[in-house]
Chains A and B, each alone.
Chain A
Amino acid sequence: GENVEQHPSTLSVQEGDSAVIKCTYSDSASNYFPWYKQELGKGPQLIIDIRSNVGEKKDQRIAVTLNKTAKHFSLHITETQPEDSAVYFCAASTSNTGKLIFGQGTTLQVKP
């Protein structure tokens, strides 16, 4: 069935370092891959997304790469700051389903 695996489950970095979170999906028909950041007591907030016709997308300190052949995609955060500390979720979706399949989440801690 549809599944998204996310690693690592926890990640601790020093302020200024880079952080990388990786996800693998099972449904080869998946064509949309968003990343969400969830802070305590809040709903998930979209930080970046990528569609299957693109291999890489960047927005300031955040970048996402997609490898459709290997069915995996990754989130890269450079120059991390304490306010980047949160739980990050990857997700995958297929056209006309309305359904986002989420990974299990990664708790990122950025130490000042």
Chain B
Amino acid sequence: EAGVTQSPTHLIKTRGQQATLRCSPISGHTSVYWYQQALGLGLQFLLWYDEGEERNRGNFPPRFSGRQFPNYSSELNVNALELEDSALYLCASSLLGGGTDTQYFGPGTRLTVL
């Protein structure tokens, strides 16, 4: 069974640009979660999508947004990039939605903002 996949593996942008990151969940999983892993800040919850709807959002500014498509894949958009947005962005999926369902992580997208 294929795991969570993310693309691209690496992304380099300049300050002020927009970044789009993509995630495909494990087959049959309907919930997708996004996390930011920045150096020194650990893993921080960004967003949770379930059945195409945004269900919860972490403490991040509105320039972090995303969506979930009918096939349950998801994309994360980061507008007006800032240097501190440089991080590993991890996507996870779960079979059911909610906080107590096991989340399986992808390999991440490394975003570098110059």
In the complex, what residues of A have CB within 8 A of residue B43's CB?
44, 89, 91, 100, 102
In the complex, what residues of A have CB within 8 A of residue B100's CB?
31-32, 51, 93-95
* B63 at interface by CB-CB < 8 Å: no
* A61 at interface by CB-CB < 8 Å: no
Structural contact, A43 and B107, CB atoms closer than 8 A: yes
CB within 8 Å for A99 and B42 given contacts A31-B100, A93-B100:
no
* B48 at interface by CB-CB < 8 Å: yes
Chain B residues numbered 79-102 whose CB sits less than 8 Å from any CB in chain A: 90, 97-100, 102
CB within 8 Å for A101 and B107 given contacts A46-B102, A51-B100:
no
Chain B residues numbered 38-60 whose CB sits less than 8 Å from any CB in chain A: 42-45, 48, 50, 55-56, 58
Chain B residues numbered 12-28 whose CB sits less than 8 Å from any CB in chain A: none
* B68 at interface by CB-CB < 8 Å: no
Partner of A98, one of B4, B97, B105, B107: B97
Structural contact, B105 and A93, CB atoms closer than 8 A: no
Interface residues of B (CB under 8 A from A): 4, 31, 33, 35, 42-45, 48, 50, 55-56, 58, 90, 97-100, 102-108
